[in-house]
Structure 1
Amino acid sequence: MDLTDAAEDRAFRTEVRTWLEDNLVGEFAALKGLGGSGKDLEAHDERLEWDRHLAKHGWTCIGWPTEYGGRGLSLMQQVIFHEEYARANAPARVNHFGEELIGPTLIAFGSEEQKARFLPKMVAVEELWAQGYSEPNAGSDLANIATKARLEGGEWVIDGQKVWTSLAQFADWIFVLARTEPGSQRHQGISFLLVPARQEGVEIRGIEQLTGGAEFNEVFFTGARTAADLIVGEPGQGWGVAMGLLGFERGVSTLGQQVGFRRELNALIDLARSNGAIDDPIVADRLARADAELEVIRLNALRTLSEEQAPQQASVAKLLWATWHRTLGELAMLVRGVDGLTAGLPAHQGYDLDEWQRLFLFTRADTIYGGSDEVQRNILAERVLRLPREAR
């Protein structure tokens, strides 16, 4: 990839930057920096209104083809948008599962009727989605799912449990992996269903985290129903659809993530300078190492997006950024020193964390969610290095 902006790309960068400067004002100015990892519940309704404001001005689904409501922007322009959005400290988006995951999946695998039904509402941010993949005994080993669905009277009837379902409490729809062929095992007999979240057969329970938030949920399906035609792909062939969706998950928006990481690192360096921690040669060395590693991660992400890469490249990217970000949380505690060990304890709230304590606690999960480090290493060992498969 040529990392030098062409003239049209420079003009686009100016357009994005100017629009954000002109619109992140008034009530929206108060949303700067809100949301994100460990803070997904922060000002959710207000950030939803910001997302809908973006939609009205054509800034959602910008990489989608124009026939599906997107802008059909080039890869470089998508990168520019996400970089400028992060640099503006704009609030975390609430429509990630729709815009970045299920939307592109429906474009690739869905029927024309499904596209017409769902895509316009994703572009307009009128319906929110959640991801029904992980289960209590099928987290990183997704092929071990036990949730079942059967056809009955023109509907799929679903029974089972999902867990770690991010932001399910706000979702109108959940895309669900379920076994639709009795007796099937592993990747076989799994179907990809689109299920209304707001119905009697769906119960959502929040899971409180160390950070005090509860964006993760358990979701119980007890006779939940969805129409027979709300299956993506053929019955029993949902594994391929599910893997296609995971490929979209590690797409161009990761470049905005890198800019967010850079902002966190720069803020930590400023803290180290202000409290004197940077005078410790060990701290200074680790901050310099983090700086160099983050640039490597950025360049690797650009290479992954711009070249024809094997699917396993996504595993490399996940290993890099997850480990780096978890280490940044540990480094933040080193810079904070003994002050990082204590938190406020207002009697009516429990403990009150500052931004660095929250970062440390939440980033412990970075190497688990989205595919654990152990699973990513197994993928690389078995599919790239051709090592023997792990005994099951």
Structure 2
Amino acid sequence: MKKIILFTILSISIYATENKKSLELEFNKNNLENTSTKNQINELNQKINELNQDYEKQEKVNEKTFESISNQISAASLNLTIFGILFSVAAIGLGLYVTFIERKIVLIREENKSLLSETKLVKDEVVKINTQIQKDIYGLFLKIKREETVHILERLIKIPEDISNLSQQLLSRELEKEDYLILKEAYLKLKEKVSKKDDGDEEDDIDEFNFDSKIDYLNSYKLLFFQHFLDLALKDPIINEDLIDYYNDSVNCAFENDILKSTTDFMDAIMEIGFKSKAEEINAFIKALSQSDFQTFDAVYQIIFKILQTRENHFKFFNLLNDDKETRIGKLKIGQSIIDKYSSSTLSESEKNTIDLAKTIFLELETETKEKNLQLEKQKEAKAERKRKQEELKNSKK
């Protein structure tokens, strides 16, 4: 028992001792820990202060960095904006340039096509001309002559007075219907100048404008109208009015082929217009024939008679002609054709009167012709007598 108590006390003592040591150790440990903690706290505070200082420094650095980056970003953004604008402008300019180049290329392509077509036409024309030279030199000559005629007519529009140098060339050529308007334009320009001079227009320079010469130039145009375009002139109130009084000179200037063509043109136009409304023109034309070297040129009167066609027209045309002496020969030639064609047929009273009038004219002209021949014979005899007396006088003086 004693041992148990001793053991218990010993155990308690040992436990107490151990517990005390443990407590001391714990206390020491706590003291150490407290001391260490304080030191650590101090160190931590110091480090915190240092960290705060570093943070503040870093924050300032970061602020400066962020500010610098922000400025750089702003500058970069501005640069990008400017670059974008410049790029857009450049893109638009490039687009316009490309469009311009594309259109120019298209235009060049079209021009090339056109030039190619023209080249082919020129080639074909050259081949055609070459063939024409080899096979139809006369046809080529006519073509060249026609081009020259067109050039002459165009020159007259610029210088109407040049008709003095060019009228003979135009009279000897075949003119086309379309040439009439060109010739008319030149004529009217010259006529306007003559009208100004005739009205005493002081603005006209006398040295540059010879009135008498200009009248001759106008007559040259009238002769061209008569020989080439009498049918068109009759239908043109302006030219027709100017031409009526020039029929005599026009007929006298004509050759046989000219008078045949002009007569055909005249009668065709008369029949188209209606010859009853052109009595003045008809009488002027027949009068001019009657007083010219063509007064007995049967081919002319055959044309007139043929184009009149009908019996009614033949008699009406004859009765439309004046009975004056200047027109009688032409009227008689028409009358003789009527007598030859209709005298053996049944005639109306008016037709009989027409034929009787034609016979009367024939007798009058026959009588006048005999009287003229008799006068000519007397003149020849008188001239021969004077000549004979002059020779006798010379012989007597010897």
Q: Normalising to structure 1: TM-score of the pair?
A: 0.23
Bigger CA radius of gyration: 2
User: Which structure exhibits the higher relative contact order, with contacts defined as CA atoms closer than 8 Å and separated by 6 or more residues?
Assistant: 1
- Structure with the higher strand share, 1 or 2: 1
